[in-house]
Structure formats: structure tokens, C-alpha cells
């Protein structure tokens, strides 16, 4: 068992030391700690900052629900936005400021500590990094919003009635916070706590995102400043690469190396993990997410599956009749990341002797996610699987994309980044000249605003980012910053079946399921047909989703097609839906706030 004494305290603090109220503008700042008595020593500073610890967790595996990566039966915000009745009255989440209050409270009182300036700046840097992360999350929802660098009291009438500040001003402060943090946060820190390289990763991530927002969103009128951010993203990600501290986890076993990152009991020594979220059930910080595999709420899309390459580097979508490939055929000779992310034909679940047979329940795609799903039958093992909160793979992708956006990408950069990831996945390398001479029409159709001499390479970088980071809660943010919201207008679809009949789902050549007409009844158990292995077939009644009488919905009903997951019409209004409205209740509290971009 790893040494977790320090982490036990961190887990405790992050759960109970500070509560983040949603009513920031209506309450006094955190007063449970007297600054005169508390902010004295380095231990005091560490105690407070550890209480602000915020890492991406295993719940990230559910963060892409409703995008073109994951279908969902859940009532997620994307559905309200695209097919509901979006308004300031119905989109009410997100305008929460309690965390900012706790961060600014620390920054206001840190100077009282009698510690060396370098020590103090380390903790100030961490707090400013947390503030930058908080604010950039708000920027990507609201664009312009009030900037607060201090805590507020209920008597601060002027600040409480403050209008929005410009995106330029807020982002300028965010980048100043990140620059200070990058220059002052120490490299050597306690296990499980953020240090210099986590800060650098967040710095590069936010810079890349803002560069894309400014380049691809003319409504912001900031396109001439985009390269400033791409340059920061490129420079900082290159610093991480040049540190020599990290590398892609690759033991030469493409069947298992990628999967290991998401099924390991200890990622603290994994060379790819810049920052792990440590789970340990024995200290009360365990988490199992069996729902990411089961049919409880989410299921991977077919369009994502089609994005993965063949192992020889060729495109699956350029194969003849690729849209009519059956489930068993779709996994042949593919990028090994696909088999580490989707339950594949022949996959076995948690100690089962027989291969798992995909379930085709209504409103699901038929595919099941296994990335992040620990296949051990041991409950403690399941709940103690670490999560790679920040991976070096993302850093390589940032460097590649920023270089391409700046027009300086070349074969050397591709070999340092994209091709390192492809090698781990058992996929042939990407050739710079070939990619630009042969841009993928499947991807070009999805990103029509991406043109220029490096368009082919940028398309491949976007492909690589999508499959490498699939289900890690990046996809929605990527679609928004690339101005690719129209991709959300098609609900995620699932497996293809040419019509009624019997189908093999395990790849052994023996039929496992039967699709019958919705007009028929599913046979009683003793009347079900048995296959050559002596197993009863699993029956599904087929209809269109509009008819709704079946147990599985195909695009053309009994005539076949892809599984359909939603009946509602999706609409994306540009540029309005790239942002969220300020909740109506907040507009009442502060009449100086104004809605923008059509809200």
C-alpha cells in the first residue's frame, strides 16, 4: 500500500474545511477562520491551500454526455440548449461564486504570514492558479463578466452592482495570474498536490483554448490577438516537454498500455501522469463508476468510433461501405485505443466466463464504454482506481495544435507529438506532406471553417485529440472553441443493422441476438431459439423512434439503419448558443448586468 498519510489530510480538508456557497454576492466572505489568528506560518498557508485542492475526477467520464461522443438519457444542459426551451429562466446553472470568495480571502490575508518571500509566493501562485481556472471556466460560459479580485461584504453596494467587464480585461487578469503562478510555484511538492508542472499544464491549456476562441469566433472581434495565446500555449507546453520529467507510458504493448492509464491502482509513478487524482477506498476516498459501462445513462457514439484509424494509418471512413459495417467488423485492425475505450466483440465483464453481449435497450447506441471502467470483480480495487487528472499526452497535443495554428508545424513536431501517441496505440505514423495533400473529407465536412495550407494536418491533430482524450471531458469545450457547435445538431447514433434477422455480437461466428418486428411478441423463455452454443437468443422488437413501439429504434425501422437515440430536433443558434445567459434571478439582483449575444 502506498504512503497516503499526507493525502488523507488533503482529502479531509478539501471535503470539509471550506464550503463554496452559491450566493457569493449576497454573503460575507469566509469568516470561520480568523485571519489574525490563522495566517501565521507556512503550515497555515499549506492547510488553507490544500483545502482549495480541486482536481478533475472520475466523474469526468460522464462529462461528455450529449456531445457527439456520448449519447445520454440524462437531462443534461446540452439537451435544454439544443432541443428544449433555452432562456435565462431555464439555463440557471453556473453563476456560482463561492469558490472565488475563498480564493480571494486567502490572497487578502496571506501577507500576514511570517514566512520567506519565496514560500509565500509559492502559495500565492497556487491560489492565483485556482482563481485563473475558476474565472476561465466562467469566461467560456459567459464571455464578459465582472472581475472581482477581493472578497465582498453585503455593504459593498458599488461592487455588488458592478456590470460585466470585457472578456479582454478578464482574460488579461487570468493570464497574469497564470504567469505569476508558473514563475513562483515550486516543482517539489507533496504527493497528490499541485506543483509547477500542473500549473504549466493549466497555463498551456487555457492559452490554447483562448487562442481558438479568438480565432474562430468573429463575434468576439478579437481575431487579431489569437496568435498571442497560441504562442503562450506552444512555449509553455514545450517547456514541459523539455523538462524531461514526463513521457508517454509505452511498454511496447499497444493492447494494454493505453488502458493501463485508466485502470491503475497507483498512477503516482506513471511517467505520463502530470497530476493524478488519487483514489483509495481504504482511507474513505474511493469511487466506482459502473454506470459508465452499464446502460444507466450514457453510451458511446458510432461517429466517434468511425473517427479511429486503422492500424496501418488508413482511414476507416475511406473503406468501401464503411457506414454499413456491422459491430463485429468495426473493430477489425483498428487503433488499439478503440478497444480500450469501447467494449469490443469478445470482451468479458468482471470475471465472466462468456463474452459480453451488447445490450440494445431503447435510447442507447448499443456500444458500451469501458475506458475508466475497472474490470476487476474486487470492489476495493474498483473503487481505488486512480484517475489521470492531467496527462502528458494532452501536453503533446497542445504543442502540436498551437504549432499548427501558428503555421510552424512540421514533420519533426509531428514526430515529437502525434506520432508518439500513434506509436503507443499501434498506429502507423502521420506524414506531414501526405496529410496536407490529402485532407480527410470525413473530417473536412465536420470542420468547414478549417482551411489553409495546414488544414490537413490540423484535421489530423483534431482527430488525434478526440480519440486520445475521448470521454475525459474535453469534447464539448473543444467543439465550442473551434466554433463547431453545428456538430451537436445531430444526436449521437449507434450500431448499424441492415434490418430484421439474427446477428453475432461476440465475433465467434455464432448468432447471439434476434431483431424481430415490433408487431411480434418476444417469445417466452422456453420458446426462444437456441444457438449452436446452447445459449438462448436475446430478442429485440424493432421500430422507428417516432413510432416508439419497439425495444430498439433503427433509423428506418424494420428496413434497418443506425440505432437512433433521440426523437427531438436539435438546433444550434450561432453565435448565441456558444454562451450561456446570466440567470434571470441574478439580473434582478444586479440590474447593471446585461445579456449578450442574443440572450
Confirm whether 74 is domain-assigned.
no
Its domain, for residue 527, covers: 499-559
Confirm whether 511 is domain-assigned.
yes
Query: What is the pLDDT at residue 2?
Result: 54
Confirm whether 222 is domain-assigned.
no
Residues with Cβ within 8 Å of 61's Cβ and at least 6 positions away in sequence, in order, are 289, 292, 369, 371, 372, 471, 472, 473
Confirm whether 335 is domain-assigned.
no
Confirm whether 95 is domain-assigned.
no
Confirm whether 553 is domain-assigned.
yes
pLDDT (tens digit per residue) in 162-200: 999 999 999 999 999 999 999 999 999 988 899 999 999
CB atoms within 10 A of CB 202: 23
Query: What is the pLDDT at residue 553?
Result: 97
Query: What is the pLDDT at residue 332?
Result: 98
Please state the domain count of the chain. 1
pLDDT (tens digit per residue) in 329-349: 999 999 999 999 999 999 999
Query: What is the pLDDT at residue 11?
Result: 44
Q: How far apart are the C-alpha atoms of 10 and 31, rounded to whole Å?
A: 21
Q: How far apart are the C-alpha atoms of 43 and 120, rounded to whole Å?
A: 11
pLDDT (tens digit per residue) in 515-542: 999 999 999 999 999 999 999 999 999 9
Query: What is the pLDDT at residue 119?
Result: 97
Query: What is the pLDDT at residue 291?
Result: 85
Determine the 3-state secondary structure of 65 from DSSP: strand
Residue 564 is inside which H or E element, if any?
strand 561-564
CB atoms within 10 A of CB 166: 13
Q: How far apart are the C-alpha atoms of 99 and 261, rounded to whole Å?
A: 30
537, 531 Cβ separation under 8 angstroms? yes
Confirm whether 545 is domain-assigned.
yes
Cis peptide before 498 (omega within 30 of 0): no
- Which segments in the chain show pLDDT lower than 50? 1, 4-31
Confirm whether 473 is domain-assigned.
no
Amino acid at each position: 500500500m502506498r504512503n497516503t498519510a499526507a493525502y488523507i489530510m488533503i482529502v479531509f480538508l478539501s471535503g470539509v474545511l471550506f464550503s463554496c456557497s452559491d450566493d457569493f454576492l449576497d454573503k460575507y466572505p469566509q469568516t470561520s477562520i480568523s485571519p489574525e489568528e490563522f495566517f501565521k506560518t507556512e503550515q497555515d498557508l499549506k492547510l488553507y491551500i490544500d483545502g482549495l485542492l480541486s482536481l478533475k475526477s472520475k466523474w469526468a467520464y460522464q462529462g461528455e454526455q450529449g456531445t457527439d461522443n456520448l449519447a445520454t438519457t440524462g437531462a443534461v444542459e446540452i439537451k435544454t440548449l439544443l432541443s428544449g426551451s433555452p432562456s435565462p429562466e431555464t439555463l440557471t446553472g453556473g453563476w456560482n461564486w463561492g469558490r472565488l470568495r475563498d480564493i480571494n480571502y486567502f490572497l487578502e490575508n496571506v501577507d500576514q504570514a511570517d514566512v520567506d518571500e519565496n514560500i509565500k509566493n509559492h502559495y500565492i501562485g497556487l491560489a492565483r492558479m485556482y482563481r485563473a481556472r475558476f474565472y476561465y471556466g466562467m469566461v467560456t460560459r459567459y464571455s464578459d463578466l465582472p472581475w472581482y479580485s477581493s472578497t465582498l461584504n453585503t455593504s459593498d453596494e458599488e461592487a455588488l452592482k458592478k456590470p460585466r467587464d470585457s472578456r479582454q480585461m478578464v482574460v488579461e487578469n487570468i493570464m497574469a495570474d497564470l504567469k505569476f503562478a508558473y514563475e513562483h510555484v515550486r516543482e517539489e511538492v507533496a504527493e497528490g498536490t499541485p506543483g509547477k508542472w500542473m500549473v504549466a499544464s493549466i497555463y498551456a491549456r487555457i492559452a490554447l483554448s483562448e487562442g481558438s476562441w479568438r480565432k474562430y469566433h468573429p463575434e468576439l472581434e478579437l481575431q487579431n490577438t489569437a496568435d498571442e495565446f497560441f504562442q503562450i500555449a506552444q512555449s509553455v507546453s514545450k517547456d514541459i516537454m523539455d523538462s524531461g520529467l514526463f513521457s508517454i507510458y509505452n511498454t511496447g504493448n499497444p493492447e494494454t498500455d493505453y488502458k493501463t492509464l485508466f485502470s491503475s491502482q497507483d498512477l503516482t509513478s506513471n511517467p505520463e501522469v502530470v497530476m493524478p487524482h488519487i483514489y483509495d477506498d481504504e482511507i474513505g476516498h474511493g469511487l466506482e463508476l459502473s454506470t459508465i459501462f452499464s446502460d444507466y445513462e450514457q453510451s458511446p457514439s458510432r461517429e466517434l468510433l468511425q473517427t479511429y484509424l486503422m492500424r496501418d494509418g488508413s482511414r476507416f471512413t475511406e473503406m468501401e461501405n464503411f457506414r454499413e459495417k456491422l459491430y463485429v467488423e468495426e473493430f477489425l485492425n483498428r487503433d488499439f485505443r478503440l478497444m480500450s475505450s469501447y467494449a469490443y466483440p469478445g470482451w468479458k465483464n468482471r470475471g465472466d466466463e462468456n463474452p459480453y453481449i451488447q445490450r440494445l435497450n431503447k435510447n442507447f447506441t448499443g456500444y458500451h464504454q469501458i475506458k475508466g471502467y475497472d474490470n476487476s470483480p474486487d470492489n476495493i480495487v474498483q473503487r481505488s482506481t486512480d484517475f489521470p487528472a492531467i496527462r502528458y499526452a494532452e501536453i503533446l497535443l497542445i504543442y502540436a495544435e498551437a504549432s499548427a495554428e501558428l503555421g510552424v508545424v512540421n514533420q519533426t513536431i509531428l514526430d515529437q507529438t502525434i506520432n508518439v501517441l500513434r506509436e503507443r496505440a499501434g498506429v502507423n505514423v502521420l506524414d506531414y506532406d501526405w496529410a496536407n495533400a490529402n485532407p480527410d473529407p470525413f473530417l473536412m465536412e465536420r470542420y468547414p471553417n478549417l482551411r489553409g495550407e495546414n488544414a490537413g494536418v490540423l484535421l489530423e491533430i483534431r482527430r488525434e485529440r478526440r480519440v486520445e482524450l475521448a470521454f475525459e471531458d474535453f469534447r464539448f469545450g473543444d467543439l465550442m472553441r473551434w466554433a463547431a457547435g453545428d456538430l451537436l445538431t445531430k444526436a449521437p447514433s449507434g450500431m448499424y443493422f441492415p434490418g430484421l434477422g439474427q446477428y453475432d455480437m461476440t465475433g465467434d461466428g455464432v448468432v447471439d441476438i434476434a431483431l424481430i418486428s415490433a408487431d411480434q411478441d418476444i417469445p417466452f423463455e422456453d420458446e426462444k431459439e437456441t444457438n449452436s452454443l446452447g445459449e438462448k437468443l436475446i430478442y429485440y422488437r424493432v421500430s422507428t423512434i417516432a413510432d416508439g413501439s419497439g425495444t430498439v429504434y433503427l433509423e428506418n425501422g424494420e428496413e434497418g439503419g443506425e440505432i437512433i437515440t433521440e426523437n427531438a430536433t436539435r438546433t444550434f443558434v450561432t453565435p448565441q448558443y456558444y454562451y450561456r445567459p446570466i440567470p434571470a434571478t441574478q439580473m434582478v439582483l444586479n440590474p447593471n448586468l446585461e445579456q449578450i449575444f442574443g440572450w
